Amino acid sequence: MYAEERRRQIASLTAVEGRVNVTELSQRFEVTAETIRRDLAVLDQEGIVHRVHGGAVATQSFQTTEFSIDTRARSASGAKNAIAREAIAFVPDSHGGIFLDAGTSLASFADVLVAHPNAHRWSLVTNSLSIALSLANSGLDEVQLLGGTVRAITQAVVGDTALRTLALMRADVAFIGTNALTLDHGLSTADSQEAAVKRAMITNAQKVVVLCDSTKMGNDYLVSFAGIDDIDVVITDSGAPQSMVDALRDREIQVIVAS
């Protein structure tokens, strides 16, 4: 595991548990205590956790920082690929409509989607410029890219045109990405326009499947676009804190932990 990914998982654990200690983190990640102390020092400098004697505690601030699509694609890439393979179980059996949200987790899922034998039978709707191009280049005919304004940092299409189009649509399944997931704030992201499109997809789908790698659990971004009770399935990876997995299941949400 790379240092960056380990630190993101430490940040997620701290956010979920409220407090972590050096000894437990050292055992969990199979690194030295000194390595964990350096990780916590970096996270403290970035304002993600607060260092305390023997460990760290969570901050309470809502994040607003966005990273480029290339940077996010490199983060937890193995986990995203594993999550994508599990997500394919939730596509319609034959014909049906699918919403594909923007994001790097969804890009990984799109790569798996095109190899499915029923791929040509589905009507696929996305607000991701890069995902639409990937699907079209794979030879799929029923791919609709929502119209609107393209956000350069995420390559997501947003705005009134996209929302008006979604208002007229219904899908069997919406596959949604998120920047963060907490029990109180639900699913959240940094940009209100992207949040509006995600919310519209969730509202107009019969089933909502969230692709959320463990580094996002316990984090909070500024704009909430769905509550926990608005979603049906969460697919995450083995780095997810067990307390969060149990809490979601207690809320009658199906949780799939990809290996």
User: 140 with 151: CB under 8 angstroms?
Assistant: no
pLDDT at 70 > cutoff 80: no
| 217 CB burial (10 A radius; 0-12, 13-18, 19+) | buried
pLDDT tens string 31-67: 999 999 999 999 888 777 888 889 998 776 555 566 5
SS3 for 123-160 is: EEEECEHHHHHHHHHCCCCCEEECCCEEECCCCEEECH
pLDDT tens string 85-112: 999 999 998 789 999 999 899 999 999 9
pLDDT tens string 168-198: 999 999 999 999 998 888 999 989 999 999 9
User: 160 with 146: CB under 8 angstroms?
Assistant: no
- What residue type is 103 in one-letter code? G
pTM, two decimals, is 0.78
Cα 253 from chain centre: 16
What domains sit in the chain, N to C, each tagged with a CATH number?
3-58 (1.10.10.10), 69-258 (3.40.50.1360)
The residue ranges of DSSP E strands in the chain, in sequence order, are: 19-21, 49-52, 55-58, 96-100, 122-126, 143-145, 149-151, 156-158, 171-177, 180-182, 186-189, 205-211, 223-226, 233-237, 254-258
What lies within 8 Å, CB to CB, of 109 at 6+ separation is 83, 84, 87, 88, 100, 175, 211
